[in-house]
Amino acid sequence: MIHGKWHAEGSAAQQDASLNTKDGFYELLTKEGHCYKGKIADLKISDRLGNVERNITFDDGSIFASPHNDTIDRLLQKPSSVGSFIHRIESHMGWVVVGIFVTALFMFGFYKWGVPWASEKIAHALPRKTNELIALNTLKFLDKYLLSDSKLKEAQKEQIRSRFFKSLVPLGSTAKSNNYKLHFRNWPGIPNALALPSGDIILTDKFVELCQNQDEMDSVILHEIGHVERRHSLQTLIEGTFITVSVMLIVGDINFLGDMGVGLGSILVSTAYSRRHESEADEFAFKKMLRAKIDPSSFATIMGRITKHVEGLSLEHKKKTKKSKNAKSEKTKTAKTAKTDEASFWDYLSSHPQTSERIRLANQYSACFKKGLTTCQIAIAE
């Protein structure tokens, strides 16, 4: 006998009831005297899921509900294969542990390889309008919080732009679709170059100052073009907002991506690209330099000079930090913001690949250049 509750179709009122079985037939008796009889084979029995209450539906739509799952399986002889399988797993701690491990392994694999792979596909599938929307808001964010007007002479900026469009942009395979632009900004003391997904490339005054010749500047600009070509900034942004971007891409609404320009601006100044992205951009630059007859050692030289400059800034930053710990704890909001921005820059630098490794690879490509080669097969570690 199986005890439970019975209610008529479309009614929430329940009655105590009992279900008896014998030789393939059933008989249901309710508290108010309702009686149902028939073949067990004609009953519709819901699948078992752990110890969740089961529903047994009769021909007239009325339902008998009971939590006695083991008795139902035994007397009605209609265990669900799927439900029983789940129940068996839930009933054995060993299988529970295995299930947790498999789930954790799947999630790790998904975020380690699945999300980057999908982000790359999505980044290349997004239209040019998306790149422009994000880049516009990113540039506004950077100009508002970090950058100011360049102090370089107009003649110098025009000379760099002329070289950029005549000699470097044509080396990119997607020059037409990316609509490259070169911007100059002042970020006091910070030598940097930033690439936005639309093809907008920003050079800081200090970076231009540290470049002692055109080849050094070209090598870094080609590196940034590599980021644009491979859509690294979009990939990084999408990885951080994977689910939202995926859904919006499916439904076709991409206008919201313009608001993500602020997010990309924060990413560019606080976390940088992944080491794989940096290595890919390096490789792009080195290969293009061989084609343009530029010695890749120029990249090694400027990277070494930038590193030396940054190390000096880092030492100065540490001294300031040490002094601030001994000062009064009360700070103004502006001071806190400045400190956060400065700390973000050190995070940015720390997440780049080892400078020594990048210099070593540049020198390997330089060896190919000195042999007069226009191609050089070198494996770059991720």
State the pLDDT at residue 218.
96
Residues 208-237: tens digit of each pLDDT? 999 999 999 999 999 999 999 988 887 877
Task: Parse the chain into domains and list their residue ranges.
Answer: 2-86, 127-316+344-370
Pick the CATH number of 2-86 from 1.10.1740, 2.30.29, 3.40.50, 1.10.150: 2.30.29
CA distance 157 to 149: 12
Structure tokens at 376: 């050089």
Identify the segments of the chain with pLDDT beneath 50: 79-80, 256, 258-267, 269-271, 330, 332-353
CA distance 48 to 321: 62
The CB-side HSE value for 138 (13 A sphere, CA atoms) comes to: 28
| Residue 33 CB neighbour total at 10 angstroms | 7
DSSP bridge partners of 193 = 203
Q: How far is CA 91 from CA 31, 97, 103, 213, 336, in A?
A: 34, 11, 18, 72, 55
Pair 218, 298: CB distance under 8 Å: yes
State the pLDDT at residue 271.
47
State the pLDDT at residue 381.
53
Residues 124-137: tens digit of each pLDDT? 777 777 777 777 88
